[in-house]
């Protein structure tokens, strides 16, 4: 998704903005741009002579490196600027549609994340008043609208505020003007803005990763808030014009967490981090000797959770697959009926939600627009909303009634890996906790916890042992056009996840299916060329999955099987076998998904795909 970076202070703005934009590249984008305000000086020592300044804008379709080339020869004396990476919504990726956009007079520049839904109506009115538009974007319309309000005694903040009162939609915006050369105005509704507070300098960003190397002190804007930022002050009000006092909070992410640390790609680094991220998801939450779990963020909601007639879980993408596993766990251990739904479907179908319902909202980023909207809808209808979120301080984390952080650390690769295993780990903790509040015995609780605590070592073992066979599979199947992934029970959502991983980064068409459903249709796809990945470890449905494997074999499908270390029967059924250690059924997804992540990673790499920034995709989808 789009990224925003801004700087005002005593240093050159350009390198800070470019470095920030590079930090945001992982979010996915198709063009980049920068706007710089430069004061006019008379004596060469940077003492402003008048209030006059120039506004320079450079922008292009393509990557930040291309923007860097474009601005190479510009004087780098500006100490105020804003930069943007755009992920196209209104208007194709092009130089013209890239941000920043200017108002009618060319004195204001704006960068914008989100979508202005009523932009056509506003545009029509402005065109009638003689405005001329260059791009196809909703953002340019907002720039012109701000321009309409600017002047006649109204300062930049007031102009932005009044314009935002007219728009319907979502925005994170940053606005500068050559007529107000000592300030940046930013605002948010539905799209994050974080303000970095420095020493005689301030920063803005849509993601703290962009500014963490400069300051660790930040202010998170809430929806409907606007901030006026100078080099030594930050003033915040609501869009309705009420002054608000914001707390300065400390960023928790570490710099090394957002660097590759010797790995070729973030995705590979994040796959290899899983022994420690799964451990971190459990840290301080497990009481081994009592066979029980403590989740501090749910402490105030335990009576409601215990008495819930139904649990709803909503999420998108990989988080949705983790939610499906969560359903199986919660129903097995806590015996509470669970419904899982794509957030994008939930919000638009007038779902039945009653006051006794509890909704778990699963999101790595905590910013996914559909998931956020589903949560708001459920809250509006009286449900208790609890987040299972990675990014600390994200919108879902802040707007939910409580929840559990997964503590996976920043996930930069667009393909979600470590967040998935941490989400599933948290679901296991939650299920044990609720189970123990109901009928799960201490003995069973202890056994589950023992198995949980063994997972980090077992993931390590898979990482160390599976790469050679995965490399062989990649060589053999790199030209395949299709893959089928099959699993049953707890491993059915893993089949979905394996297929999603392969599609999104290697662009090979893949489908995940419940193994037994194959005979109701997809079996027609199987021929001598079709690679079929079956997740078949020793679990409650192992024998059933063996029958499904036989069905594939009988039709000539090329079997790649994820099997338990001790399985002696599987070798003669499969073309390739990837081994994983034994654990209880419920926890198998945390192990069985690891080889599938590696398979998609090495397949994408072999095919020359951009692993960390796959085409058309964004890390966090902050538009509907
Ligand atoms: O940040 P979220 O967990 O809410 O994101 C949900 C999906 O957009 C995300 O999982 C997406 O499907 C990933 N690209 C999957 O690898």
Residues 172 and 49 in one domain: yes
The predicted model gives 268-294 an average pLDDT of 95
Residues 246 and 271 in one domain: no
Does a structural domain hold residue 261? Answer: no
Q: Ligand 1 centre from 260 Cα, in Å?
A: 20
Which ligand 1 atom lies nearest to the CA of residue 365? Answer: 1
* pLDDT for the residue numbered 260: 81
Q: What percent of the chain has pLDDT over 90?
A: 79
Residues 207 and 286 in one domain: no
CA atoms 438, 443, 446, 448: torsion sign: negative
Residues 272 and 244 in one domain: no
Residues 228 and 270 in one domain: no
Catalytic residues: 2, 619
Instruction: To the nearest 10°, report the CA torsion of 438, 442, 446, 447.
Output: -80
Pocket test for ligand 1, best of 317, 322, 365, 415 (most atoms within 8 A of CB): 317
Ligand 1 site: residues with CB under 6 angstroms? 316-319, 363-365, 368, 371, 414-416, 500, 504, 617, 620-621
Listed residues 251, 281, 309: the one ending a domain:
251
Q: Give the CATH number for residue 570.
A: 3.40.50.10490
Does a structural domain hold residue 449? Answer: yes
Residues 26 and 172 in one domain: yes
Residues 197 and 273 in one domain: no
pLDDT tens figures, 555-595: 999 999 999 999 999 999 999 999 999 999 999 999 999 99
pLDDT tens figures, 338-362: 999 999 999 788 888 888 899 999 9
Q: Ligand 1 centre from 247 Cα, in Å?
A: 30
Residues 410 and 550 in one domain: yes
Which ligand 1 atom lies nearest to the CA of residue 621? Answer: 8
Residues 190 and 284 in one domain: no
Q: Can you tell me the distance from the alpha carbon of 187 to that of 171, in angstroms, rounded to the nearest whole number?
A: 8
The residue among 457, 458, 456, 480 whose CA lies nearest residue 599 is 480
Residue-wise over 292-307: b if at least 16 C-beta within 10 A, else e?
bbebebbeebeebbee
The alpha-helical segments, DSSP class H, found in 214-356 are 266-272, 274-282, 302-306, 317-333, 343-346
Domains of the chain: total: 2
Pocket test for ligand 1, best of 323, 347, 368, 394 (most atoms within 8 A of CB): 368
Domain that holds residue 489: 266-606
Average pLDDT, the chain: 92
User: H/E/C letters for each residue in 253-293?
Assistant: CCHHHHCCCCCCCHHHHHHHCHHHHHHHHHCCCEEHHHCEE
Q: What is the pTM of this model?
A: 0.78
* pLDDT for the residue numbered 90: 78
Residues 409 and 510 in one domain: yes
pLDDT tens figures, 435-466: 999 999 999 999 999 999 999 999 999 999 99
CA 360 → CA 170, 306, 386, 432, distances in Å? 24, 14, 5, 16
> Which 8-state DSSP code applies to residue 516?
G
- Minimum CA distance residue for ligand 1 atom 12: 317
Residues 244 and 286 in one domain: no
Please name the residues in contact with 113: beta carbons below 8 A apart, sequence gap of 6 or more.
Answer: 1, 2, 3, 4, 171, 172, 173, 191, 206, 622
Would you call 437 helix, strand, or coil by DSSP? helix
């Amino acid at each position: 998704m789009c990224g925003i970076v801004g700087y005002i202070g005593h240093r050159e703005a350009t390198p800070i903005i470019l470095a920030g934009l590079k930090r945001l590249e992982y979010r996915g984008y198709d063009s980049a741009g920068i706007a710089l305000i430069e004061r006019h000086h008379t004596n060469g020592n940077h003492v402003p002579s008048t209030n006059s300044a120039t506004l320079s804008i450079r922008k292009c379709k393509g990557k930040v490196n291309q923007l860097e080339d474009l601005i190479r020869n510009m004087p780098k004396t500006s100490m105020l600027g804003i930069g943007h990476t755009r992920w196209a919504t209104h208007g194709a990726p092009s130089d013209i549609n890239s941000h920043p956009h200017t108002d009618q007079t060319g004195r204001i520049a704006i960068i914008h994340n989100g979508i202005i839904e009523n932009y056509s109506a506003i545009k029509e009115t402005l065109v009638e008043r003689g405005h001329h538009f260059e791009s196809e974007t909703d953002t340019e319309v907002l720039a012109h609208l701000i321009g309409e309000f600017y002047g006649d005694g109204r300062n930049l903040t007031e102009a932005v505020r009044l314009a935002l009162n007219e728009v319907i939609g979502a925005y994170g915006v940053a606005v500068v003007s050559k007529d107000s050369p000592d300030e940046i105005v930013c605002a948010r509704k539905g799209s994050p803005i974080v303000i970095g507070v420095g020493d005689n300098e301030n920063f803005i960003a849509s993601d703290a990763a962009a500014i963490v190397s400069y300051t660790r002190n930040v202010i998170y804007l809430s929806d409907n808030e606007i901030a006026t930022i100078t080099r030594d002050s930050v003033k915040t009000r609501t869009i309705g014009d009420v002054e608000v006092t914001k707390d300065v909070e400390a960023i928790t992410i570490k710099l090394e967490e957002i660097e590759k640390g010797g790995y070729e790609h973030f995705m590979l680094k994040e796959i290899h981090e899983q022994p420690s991220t799964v451990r971190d998801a459990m840290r301080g939450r497990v009481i081994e000797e009592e066979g029980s779990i403590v989740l501090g963020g749910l402490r105030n909601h335990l009576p409601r959770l215990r008495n819930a007639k139904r649990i709803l879980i909503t999420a998108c993408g990989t988080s949705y697959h983790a939610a499906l596993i969560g359903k199986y766990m919660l129903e097995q251990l806590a015996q509470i009926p669970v419904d899982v739904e794509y957030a994008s479907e939930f919000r638009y179908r007038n779902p039945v939600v009653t006051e006794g319902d509890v909704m778990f909202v699963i999101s790595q980023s905590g910013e996914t627009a559909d998931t956020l909207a589903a949560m708001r809808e459920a809250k509006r209808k009286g449900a208790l909303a609890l987040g299972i979120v990675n990014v600390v301080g994200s919108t879902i984390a802040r707007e939910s009634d409580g929840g559990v952080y997964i503590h996976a650390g920043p996930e930069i690769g667009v393909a979600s890996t470590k967040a998935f295993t941490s989400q599933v780990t948290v679901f296991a903790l939650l299920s044990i906790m609720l189970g123990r509040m109901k009928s799960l015995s201490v003995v069973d609780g202890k056994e589950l916890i023992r198995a949980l605590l063994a997972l980090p070592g077992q993931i390590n073992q898979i990482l160390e042992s599976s790469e050679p066979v995965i490399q062989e599979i990649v060589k053999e199947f790199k030209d395949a056009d299709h893959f089928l992934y099959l699993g049953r029970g707890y491993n059915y959502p893993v089949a979905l996840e394996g297929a999603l991983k392969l599609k999104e980064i290697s662009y090979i068409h893949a489908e995940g299916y419940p193994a037994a459903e194959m005979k109701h249709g997809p079996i027609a796809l199987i021929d001598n060329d079709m690679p079929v990945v079956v997740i078949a470890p020793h679990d409650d449905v192992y024998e059933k999955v063996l029958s499904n494997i036989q069905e594939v074999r009988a039709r000539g499908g090329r079997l790649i099987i994820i099997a338990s270390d001790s399985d002696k029967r599987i070798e003669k059924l499969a073309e390739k076998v990837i081994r994983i250690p034994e654990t209880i059924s419920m926890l198998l997804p945390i192990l069985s998904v690891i080889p599938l992540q590696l398979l998609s990673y090495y397949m994408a790499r072999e095919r020359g795909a951009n692993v960390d920034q796959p085409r058309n995709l964004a890390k966090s989808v902050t538009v509907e």
